[in-house]
Amino acid sequence: MDSSRRSSNWLTLADISDLRAYERQRNSFRSEIIALKKLRRISVGPFVSLLFENRSTIRFQIQEMARVEKMSTDIQLLEELDAYNPLISGPGELVATMMIELTTEADLRIWLGKLVGIERKVQLVIGDAKSALSEKVIPGVPDESHDANLTRQDVTSSLHYLHFYLTDSDVESFSVSDVRLEISHSEYSYSAIISSETKQSLLDDLL
């Protein structure tokens, strides 16, 4: 993970409102983020989805955590910034939070054991599905700083963070071609076409 590519886009303390100021703006900001997440969230199969993050979604995440935990010191906020800034996408890169969305303890016990390694079986496919020779596969790369804490040999986490690195030619193809998300795990194999509206939002990150 090359952090130098994205450091100019990272959030700083100046971007994080204090708790009182955030309460005043929270309703409008929350509505904005809900709409943005709806656009940038893609369901792949019955219970896995990927939310493509950007500066706004990560700022909302930090603001909400600060609100819940009543964080008031620069040290506390800097720790959150250090943890979440690497999840902000930058030119030639997309970053997604992958969520395994199961609602019962029984399903969690069954599926989190079955889906070990799923975070390494996700890919973007650019090109016409009818002509595999023209397709370009962009593998999802688990975020290094979070992966060590989320991965175990016998059970996976319900949350993973993935990076997709695209070359200039990949970005050009992304803008004009069909794009889909694929999960090719032995226990979970599904794909989903990315809509033109979502593609346009993601292109704002890539360019």
Residue range 169-202, pLDDT digits in tens = 999 999 999 999 999 999 999 999 999 999 999 9
**Please, are residues 125 and 179 in contact by the beta-carbon 8 Å criterion?**
yes
**β strands within 23-121, DSSP E:** 41-44, 48-52, 93-100
Asked if residues 182 and 139 have their Cβ atoms less than 8 Å apart, the reply is no
The pLDDT score that the predictor gives to residue 13 is 96
- What dihedral do alpha carbons 14, 15, 20, 25 form, nearest 10°? 150
pLDDT tens-place string over residues 136-170: 999 999 998 776 666 677 899 999 999 999 999 99
| Displacement of CA 152 from its chain's centroid (Å) | 20
User: How sure is the predictor about 130, in pLDDT bands with cuts at 50, 70 and 90?
Assistant: low
Measured at the CA of 157, the angle between CA 163 and CA 111, to 5 degrees, comes to 120
At residue 172, φ and ψ (nearest 5 deg) are: -60, -45
Q: Which pTM value belongs to this model?
A: 0.91
- Structure confidence at residue 90 as a pLDDT band (50, 70, 90): confident
- The yes-or-no verdict on residue 133 having pLDDT over 90 is no
| Tens-digit pLDDT profile for residues 1-53 | 444 445 688 999 999 999 999 999 999 999 999 999 999 999 999 999 999 99
CA gap 6, 19 in Å, rounded: 27
pLDDT for res 148: 67
Confidence (pLDDT) at 63 = 98
Beta strands 48-52 and 93-100, pairing class: antiparallel
Residues 6+ positions from 140 with CB-CB distance below 8 Å: 96, 98, 119, 120, 122, 123, 124, 162, 163, 164
